[in-house]
Structure 1
Amino acid sequence: MKPNTLTLIAAAAAIAAPGMLWALSEADTDGDGLVDVAELQAVFPDLTETQFEKMDLNADGGLDADEIAAAQLAGQLPSNES
């Protein structure tokens, strides 16, 4: 990952921390620290696999806290439950 991308992710994590914690605790049903597409679709049923893949910056099949924060900052995920 490029240094600029890491900087953006770190900034996004700082800005979106409260919402990020909600997204992880709400969606990570197996408690592994990552949210896979099925877990995220359980919370957001209209989410497509293509949308998920755009959020999965390292293409590992799961969103970590930094990827969730970046997705929230980009408007791809809501930053809280409302």
Structure 2
Amino acid sequence: MKPMKLTTLAAVAAIAAPGMLWALTEADTDGDGMVSLAELQSVLPMITEEAFTQMDVNADGGLDADEIAMAQSAGLLPANEG
């Protein structure tokens, strides 16, 4: 992934979610333990398909807890609060 893309994605996440309480359990509306693009966009509407694909490291179509933690550490998703 190019550094410019990481910077852009981090900026989008920061703009989309200031002060937002976001947790895996809130986004995982079907309870399957993974967050789909549609589920993620329901809480972070500015997340693009391209950004989601970059966060979906194993390319299985969903973000698991490890992928979410990596995306949060990289600043691509807001950190869990509380």
Secondary structure (helix, strand or coil) at the match of 1:68 reads: helix
Where does structure 1 lack aligned partners over 5 or more consecutive residues? 1-21
Once the two structures are TM-superposed, the CA of residue 23 in structure 1 deviates from its matched residue by: 2.1
| TM-score, normalised relative to structure 1 | 0.70
Where does structure 2 lack aligned partners over 5 or more consecutive residues? 1-21
Q: Specify the code of the residue in structure 1 equivalent to 2:26.
A: E
Q: What is the aligned partner in structure 2 of residue 59 from structure 1? A: 59
2:46 is aligned with 1:46: yes
Matches within 5 A, 1:3-82: 23-80=23-80
Secondary structure (helix, strand or coil) at the match of 1:40 reads: helix
Tell me the C-alpha RMSD between the 2 structures.
1.6
Q: Specify the code of the residue in structure 2 equivalent to 1:45.
A: P
Q: Specify the code of the residue in structure 2 equivalent to 1:44.
A: L
